[in-house]
């Protein structure tokens, strides 16, 4: 059971499948907030008022497909967990393509009653990866802030001798190089 409350967006055009998926989600997530949409326009509208932690999308939908949804989601919220829950990904190349395009996983609807137990490890693993990523981003932000603060204080120091002036200039150059290297490393 996943204990943290999650916002789940389900893109499914068959009401019976949507209801079954919702039931399976409530079995594995303690406090889910679930929205269900059935079309691309409704999906885009939902994103304006509901930022999901997890997107569960069918692949073959009326008038569009799951890759359309995935691309929109990755553009707007790139760290969102995106899982295909579909009956049409029997094609291994298509399944691999969804993963290469950024999906966290895909599951077949062939036994929807077991969906929860197949879905839980994918969501738990993706949540852990997101947590590690967020911690790394916070650490990098703290380093950048510390360097900015050091540069600010170095600029405020009143220099009395040419030796002090030279040493401060060296420190500022070193901090600039470190900052530049971190920017290059993050690309």
Given a cut of 80, whether residue 20 has pLDDT beyond it is: yes
> Sorting pLDDT into bands at 50, 70 and 90, what band is 7?
very high
Q: Out of 90-99, 103-112, 115-124, which region has the weakest mean confidence (pLDDT)? A: 90-99
Whole-number pLDDT of residue 92: 78
75-80 CB contacts, 8 Å cutoff, 24+ apart? 76/47, 77/47, 77/51, 77/52, 78/102, 79/130, 79/133, 80/52, 80/53, 80/54, 80/55
Domain 7-133 falls in which CATH fold?
Rossmann fold (3.40.50)
d(CA 15, CA 21): 10
For 76-97, the pLDDT digits (tens) are 988 899 999 988 656 778 888 8
Whole-number pLDDT of residue 187: 65
How large is the angle between the packed helices 66-76 and 92-100, nearest 10 degrees?
10
For 27-72, the pLDDT digits (tens) are 999 989 999 999 999 999 999 999 999 999 999 898 999 999 999 9
């Amino acid at each position: 059971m996943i204990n943290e409350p999650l916002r789940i967006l389900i893109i499914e055009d068959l009401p019976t499948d949507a209801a079954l998926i919702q039931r399976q989600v409530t079995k594995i997530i303690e406090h889910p907030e679930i929205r269900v949409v059935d079309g691309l326009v409704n999906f885009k509208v939902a994103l304006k008022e509901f930022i999901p932690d997890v997107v569960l999308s069918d692949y073959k939908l009326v008038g569009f497909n799951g890759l359309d949804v995935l691309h929109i989601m990755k553009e707007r919220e790139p760290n969102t967990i995106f899982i295909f829950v579909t009956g049409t990904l029997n094609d291994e190349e298509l399944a691999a393509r969804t993963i290469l395009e950024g999906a966290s996983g895909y599951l077949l609807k062939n036994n929807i009653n077991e969906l929860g137990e197949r879905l839980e490890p994918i969501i738990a693993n993706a949540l852990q990866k997101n947590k590690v990523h967020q911690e790394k981003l916070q650490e990098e932000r703290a380093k950048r802030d510390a360097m900015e603060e050091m540069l600010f204080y170095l600029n405020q120091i009143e220099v009395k001798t040419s030796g002090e002036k030279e040493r401060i200039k060296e420190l500022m150059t070193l901090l600039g190089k470190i900052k530049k290297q971190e920017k290059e490393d993050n690309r």
